[in-house]
């Protein structure tokens, strides 16, 4: 069926308005990724007098045999498994607390969101001071106080057991406000008539939360968890500033290994292969989440 002149004009206007975003997506996302894929099949190394050669999948075999890269994948996975559910639960709890018509609530919302505005470099430096070793360090002093002196002072960032959990805590503190704002917007979009009808039927607060709030927030929570998962696999700034991947690769990540290979070791092809693997992992997780969501929706 041929398009009417008005529909054709609307299509042209829509394409014109979307053109800047599409051009930016091509120039800054699709094109760099395509170049990374091409480089990953070579042996390109900055400063090397040897000519660039085509190696096929050799770079992928090398990074898979690299114990630091495998440890980085494990750290990223562990980071996401812990941070995504815990941070989402904290954000949901804060959103429920702040979704009340009380005086001064806007101030509390601003305070909880404020860490999101701070640059991660600044946050990482501040938390490095908080994690200072010895009994006089702020975190050690606090834990010693709440445990009535039973806590033994730790060197958090130089301890293989505590380094990654320390970065997890920092990341959740800095990012929970972002999730809270999104969930809070979802809460405010739920019709109050649903709660009024439930209250008339004698439903208590827990049943209202279980059968009204959570189902109505389903899409919001899925979006929040998806974005947080992607951010977890992009973990870099905290590691670069606080631990440099140590101790003993306890906090190294895929992005940190890719940057180190590309700019410290000048192995651009190796770094490109790592970024391609990173993209495929995140894409697989995203597709898996979407498939699970569709299956769950079909069951309902």
For residues 83 and 168, the answer to whether their CB atoms sit within 8 Å is yes
Phi, psi dihedral angles at 42 (to 5 degrees):
-120, -175
Using left for φ > 0, alpha for ψ between -120 and 50, and beta otherwise, residue 85 falls in alpha
Look at residue 299 and tell me whether its pLDDT is greater than 50.
no
Look at residue 173 and tell me whether its pLDDT is greater than 90.
yes
Give the pLDDT confidence score for residue 265 in this predicted structure.
85
Give the pLDDT confidence score for residue 45 in this predicted structure.
86
In degrees, rounded to 5, the angle at the alpha carbon of residue 114 between the alpha carbons of residues 111 and 115 is 120
Secondary structure (3-state) at 149? coil
Over the stretch 58-99, which tens digit does the pLDDT of each residue have?
A: 889 989 998 999 999 999 999 999 999 999 999 999 999 888
Q: Name residues whose C-beta falls within 8 Å of residue 163's C-beta, 6 or more positions apart in sequence.
A: 156, 157, 243, 246, 247, 250, 251
For residues 60 and 273, the answer to whether their CB atoms sit within 8 Å is yes
At the second CATH level, the architecture of 66-299 is: Orthogonal Bundle (1.10)
Over the stretch 116-155, which tens digit does the pLDDT of each residue have?
A: 888 888 999 999 999 998 878 899 999 998 988 888 888 9
CA 117 – CA 34 distance, rounded (Å)? 32
Share of the chain above pLDDT 70, in %: 94
CA 192 – CA 199 distance, rounded (Å)? 11
CA 137 – CA 98 distance, rounded (Å)? 32
Q: Name residues whose C-beta falls within 8 Å of residue 189's C-beta, 6 or more positions apart in sequence.
A: 216
Peptide bond into 138 cis (omega under 30): no
Tokens of 262: 């590309």
For residues 268 and 184, the answer to whether their CB atoms sit within 8 Å is no
Query: For the purposes of burial, counting CB atoms within 10 Å of the CB of 115, is it exposed (0-12), middle (13-18) or buried (19 or more)?
Result: middle
Look at residue 11 and tell me whether its pLDDT is greater than 80.
no
Query: For the purposes of burial, counting CB atoms within 10 Å of the CB of 234, is it exposed (0-12), middle (13-18) or buried (19 or more)?
Result: middle
Over the stretch 225-281, which tens digit does the pLDDT of each residue have?
A: 888 988 888 889 999 999 998 888 899 999 999 999 888 888 889 999 999 998 888
Domain spans in the chain, listed from the N-terminal domain onward: 66-299
């Amino acid at each position: 069926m041929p398009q009417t002149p008005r529909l054709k004009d609307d299509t042209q206007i829509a394409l014109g308005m979307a053109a800047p975003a599409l051009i930016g997506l091509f120039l800054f996302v699709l094109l760099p990724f395509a170049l990374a894929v091409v480089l990953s099949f070579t042996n390109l190394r900055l400063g090397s007098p040897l000519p660039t050669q085509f190696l096929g999948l050799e770079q992928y075999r090398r990074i898979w045999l690299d114990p630091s890269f495998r440890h980085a994948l494990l750290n990223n996975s562990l980071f996401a498994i812990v941070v995504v559910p815990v941070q989402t639960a904290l954000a949901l709890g804060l959103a429920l607390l702040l979704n009340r018509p009380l005086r001064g609530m806007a101030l509390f919302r601003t305070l909880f969101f404020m860490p999101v505005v701070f640059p991660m470099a600044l946050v990482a430096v501040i938390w490095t001071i908080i994690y200072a070793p010895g009994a006089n360090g702020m975190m050690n002093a606090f834990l010693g106080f709440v445990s009535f002196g039973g806590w033994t002072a730790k060197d958090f960032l130089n301890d293989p057991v505590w380094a990654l959990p320390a970065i997890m805590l920092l990341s959740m503190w800095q990012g929970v406000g972002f999730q809270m704002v999104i969930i809070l917007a979802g809460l405010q979009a739920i019709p109050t008539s649903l709660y009024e009808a439930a209250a008339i039927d004698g439903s208590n607060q827990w049943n209202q939360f279980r059968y009204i709030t959570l189902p109505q927030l389903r899409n919001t929570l899925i979006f929040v968890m998806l974005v947080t998962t992607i951010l977890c696999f992009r973990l870099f700034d905290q590691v670069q500033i606080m631990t440099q991947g140590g101790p003993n690769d306890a906090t190294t990540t895929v992005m940190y290994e890719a940057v180190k290979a590309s700019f410290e070791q000048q192995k651009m092809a190796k770094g490109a292969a790592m970024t391609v693997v990173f993209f495929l992992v995140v894409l697989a997780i995203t597709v898996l989440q979407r498939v699970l969501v569709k299956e769950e929706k079909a069951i309902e």
